[in-house]
Amino acid sequence: MGIYDTLNEQQKRAVLHTEGPLLVLAGAGSGKTRVLTHRIAYLIEEKGVNPWNILAITFTNKAAGEMRERVDKLVEFGAESVWVSTFHSMCVRILRRHIGLLGYDTNFTIYDTDDQKTLMKDVCKLLKIDTKVYKERALMAAVSHAKEELLTPQEFRRRAEGDFGRQKIGEVYEEYEKQLRANNALDFDDLLVKTVQLFQTQKEVLEYYQDRFRYIMVDEYQDTNTVQFELVRLLASKYRNLCVVGDDDQSIYKFRGANIKNILDFEQVFEDARTIKLEQNYRSTGHILNAANAVIRHNVGRKDKTLWTDNGEGEKLAFRQFDTGYDEAEYIVNDIKKNVAHGERTYQDHAILYRTNAQSRMFEEKFVTENIPYKIVGGINFYGRREIKDLLCYLKTVDNGQDDLAVRRIVNVPKRGIGLTSINRVQEYAAKREIGFYDALKAVELIPDIGRGASKLESFVALIEHFKTDAKDMSVSKLMEEIIEETGYVESLKAEGDEEAEARIENIDELISKIVAYEETCEEMDEPVTLSGFLAEVALVADIDSMDESKDYVVLMTLHSAKGLEFPHVYLVGLEDGIFPSYMTITSEDPGDLEEERRLCYVGITRARKNLTLTCARRRMIRGETQYNRMSRFVNEVPVELVSTGVKVEKLVEAPVKNVYKQAKQAFQTKLYAAQKPAKQFGTPLGGKLAYEAGDRVLHGKFGEGTVKAIVEGGRDYEVTVDFDERGIKKMFASFAKLQKI
Ligand SMILES: Nc1ncnc2c1ncn2[C@@H]1O[C@H](COP(=O)(O)OP(=O)(O)OP(=O)(O)O)[C@@H](O)[C@H]1O
Ligand SMILES: [Mg+2]
C-alpha cells in the first residue's frame, strides 16, 4: 500500500484510528494536514466508507482547495463526494437548503464587512447613538463577539443589566439583528449562528446531517471559537467519529474569539478521546526549526514540545537591519530578483509576511518599478473596490431586491439625476410601511411629495426589472456585460475624468473573468450556474483566495493569512518593537497578548522551508510620521549562531521579465472589447484620427518619451504600443494614454 508507507509511525496511527474521537496535537509542519488527507483516503479505500459520509473542515478556502486537490490525488473514485469546506461555506450550503425553517428566504444575502458597517451606521442613526462615544467599529466587534459566543440580543441585554454602556450595545445589537432580518441578510457570524440554531431547533435536520457526516475532520482546530465548536459538537455527537488536528502554539485568533480551551478540553468533552502527538517536522531545515523552537519557548503558558527534523541544518537565517523601510523593501525586492535571475527560484517560491496590511505598500511600489509580478493577499481587496462593489450591488439587486443597502448604493450610480431628497423620501416611506427600499421604489407613485423625482425612480425600477427578466435565461457573465452596457457604467467612469478610470476598467474586466471562471467550474462540477450561487461564492472568498498558484508571482500577506501555508523562501519583515510585536501588545497589561504575538511569530518562521530572511528598519514612516524603532525582541530570541548578518548586497543581475499574467489579461481584454457593441463606444472613436502614427516620437505624462511601435483597433479604442526610452514597451488605449507627438 504505497501511499501509507510515506507516513511515519505516529502519523500512521492517526490515520488508522478511524472510530471514536481523536485529537492530533502537534507542532508546525509535522504533517497534521497530511494526516487528514491520508485519513480520508484510508476511510474510502480501505474501510469502504462512502465518500458522501465524510466532512473535512479547514480554515480558508485556499486550504480547502489544497486539501481537495490532495484528496483527489490520493483517492481514485468518489473523492468529489467528500465535503471539503470551510466552516462558512459549509454553513452557506446547509442554510441555502433549510433556512426556510427559521423564517428566512433561501436566497438570503451575505453581508461583508463593508455592508455591515453601512448597516451599523444606519442603526446608530436610528437609535441616535453618539458614534463619538460608541464607535461603529467597536460596536461591530462587540456584536460579532456576542455572536461568536452564541449570545442572542436578549441574553446579551439580560447579562448587561446594571451596566449602562453594555445595555446600549445590547440595544444596538437588537436593532442590527432586526435590520438584517428585514433585509433577508446574514452577516458572516450569522452563517454559523443560524446553522447552530437550525440544528438546535430542527431535530430532523440535525439528524440528517449527523447521518450524512459520519466521519468529521477539522484542521487548525486551535483556532475554532465557541460557535464553531458547538457546530462540530452537534454534528459529531451521534457517531462520535471526530478527528481534530491542531497546534496550541499556532493559536492566533484569540481576538476573533478563538478558544484555546477547545483544544485543551477536547479530552473532557469527548471522553475516551485518543491523543496522538507528532514530533517530526518535514517542512523546514534544522536552522529554521531551531529558531522557531527557541522563540516559542519564551511563552510560559504552553505545553512543551520540541520538533526535530532530519532535513539537515540548511542555510542560516539571514538578518538585515536597514535605515528605512524603503531600503528594506529595495533589498528584498532585489534579493528576490537575484534568486530568480540565478535560476534558483521562481517568483512564487517567495513570500513576504508582515504584521499589518498597511506594510505592503512600500513593497508594491518597488515591485511595480522593477516589473516583478506580485500579489497582495488581503489588504487592497479586489472586492472592496468601488467599481466592483457597485457592479456586485447591481447583481445583488437583480437577484434579491430585498437587500436595501445594495439598492441604495446603485440607485443613482451611475448618476441618473436622483437626488438625496428623493432617496430619503423613499427611505422614510419604506420605514413607515415596514417594507423594503426596493418595494417602496416600485410603488413610487404612492410616495407623498416625491414630485419630479418619480419618473427617474420609475425608470430605474424599469431597468432593474428588465435585467431581472433577462437574468432568467442569460448566463451570469452575459447579464453582467448587459448591465455594464445598459447602465453606461464604464462610460460614466470615463466621463468622471477619474485618473484611475483605466485601472477601474481593468478591474471590471477582471470581474467578468471571475464570473466566467465561476461558470466554467460549475460546468465541470456539473452544478447549475446561478446568480445566487455566484454571489454566495464571491461573498465567501476570504482574502487569501486571491492567491492563484498557477501563476508565477511573489506573494505578500499578513502573518495571519499565512497559516497552514509553506514557501521555500520567506521574508519576515518589519521586525521592530512597536510593529511586531505591535505597540498594543507591548503596552498591554495582559501578558497573554504578547504570547499570542509570539505565536504569530512562530507561525511566520515555520512557513519557511529552506530560507528565512528577517528584516527591520531603524526608522519608518507611519501615518505620515517618522518613527524610530528598536529591533523586535523576537529577533533577540533567535539564538545568534543560527543567524548570518552579512551586510554586503551582491551585485544584481537583471531578471528576465516574465509576465504571463499580464499577457493573458491583455488578450482577454482585447476579446472583451471586441465583443462589445461598437455603438457604445467611448474613448477615441475608431475612425477618428490620432495625432501620431507608428514610428512617431511621443511623450507620456508618466512614462516619458518613446517611439510608437504599433496602433491597433481595440474594439472601443485604439490600442497603442509604445517603446518608452526609460520604461520599455507598454500597450495602452489612446484615450487614456494622452500621448503627445513631439
Ligand atoms: N511523512 C512524511 N513524509 C514526507 N513528507 C511529509 C510527511 N509528513 C508531512 N510531510 C510534508 O511536510 C510538509 C508539512 O506538512 P503539513 O502541511 O501537513 O504540516 P502541518 O502539521 O499541517 O503544518 P501546519 O502546522 O503549518 O499547518 C508538507 O510539505 C508535507 O507534504
Ligand atoms: Mg496544516
Q: How many angstroms is it from 280 CA to the middle of ligand 1?
A: 9
Which bound ligand lies closest to the C-alpha atom of 37?
Answer: 1
Q: What's the pLDDT score for residue 429?
A: 92
Residue 650, pLDDT score = 35
Task: Give the whole-angstrom CA distance, residue 403 versus residue 416.
Answer: 21
CA–CA separation, 424 and 412 (whole Å): 13
Helix (H) or strand (E) segment spanning residue 140: helix 136-148
Q: Is 220 a catalytic residue?
A: yes
Q: What is the number of H-type helices and E-type strands within the chain?
A: 31, 21
Strand-pairing partners, residue 321, are: 616
Highest mean pLDDT among 76-85, 130-139, 167-176: 167-176
What is the length of the chain?
742
DSSP readout, 44-93? HHTS---GGGEEEEESSHHHHHHHHHHHHHH-SSSGGGSEEEEHHHHHHH
β strands within 584-727, DSSP E: 608-622, 625-628, 643-644, 697-700, 704-713, 718-724
Mutate to test the pocket of ligand 1, among 11, 222, 282 (most ligand atoms within 8 A of CB): 282
Q: Which atom of ligand 1 is nearest to the CA of 281?
A: 12
Which residue has the least CA distance to atom 2 on ligand 1? 7
What torsion, rounded to 10 degrees, do the Cα atoms 232, 67, 310, 23 define?
Answer: 10
Q: Give pTM, 2 decimals.
A: 0.72
Say which of 219, 249, 404, 509 is annotated catalytic: 219
The x, y and z cell numbers of residue 465, run together, are: 426589472
Local structure of residue 176 (DSSP, 8 states): H
Assign 105 to helix, strand or coil: coil
| CA–CA dist 177, 197 (Å, integer) | 15
Q: Which of 213, 220, 275, 214 is nearest to 33 (CA)?
A: 220
- Residue 587 has a CB neighbour count (10 Å cut-off) of 11
Nearest CA residue ID for atom 6, ligand 1: 282
b/e 681-703 (16+ beta carbons within 10 angstroms → b): bbbbeeeeebebeeebebebeeb
705 has pLDDT over 80: yes
Q: ipTM above 0.90?
A: yes
Q: Which residues contact 497 (CB under 8 A, 6 or more apart)?
A: none
Report the chain's C-alpha Rg in angstroms.
28
- Residue 324 phi/psi, 5-degree rounding, is -135, 165
Q: Can you give the pLDDT at residue 545?
A: 44
Q: Between residues 587 and 218, which one has the greater pLDDT?
A: 218
> Has 520 been annotated as catalytic?
no
408 three-state secondary structure: helix
Q: How many whole angstroms separate alpha carbon 20 and alpha carbon 17?
A: 8
Average pLDDT over the chain, rounded to an integer:
85
Specify whether the CB–CB gap between 483 and 467 falls below 8 A.
yes
Q: Which residues are annotated as a binding site?
A: 26-33
Pocket lining for ligand 1, CB < 6 angstroms: 6-8, 11, 26, 28-34, 247, 250, 282-283, 564, 566, 606
Selection from 574, 644, 562, 653 nearest residue 335 by Cα = 653
Please indicate whether residue 595 is annotated as part of the active site: no
3 state DSSP class of 234 = helix
End-to-end CA distance of the chain: 72
40-74 per-position pLDDT tens digit: 999 998 999 999 999 999 987 777 888 888 888 88
Q: Output the nine-digit C-alpha cell for 312.
A: 539537515
Looking at residue 75, its pLDDT comes to 84
Q: Between the CA of residue 381 and those of 113, 187, 507, 546, 669, what are the distances in Å?
A: 12, 18, 11, 8, 21
250 is catalytic: yes
618 among known catalytic residues: no
Catalytic site residue 33?
yes
- Ligand 1 pocket: which of 34, 218, 222 to mutate (most atoms <8 Å of CB)? 34
Give tens-digit pLDDT for 251-306: 888 877 777 788 878 888 898 999 999 999 999 999 999 999 999 999 987 877 88
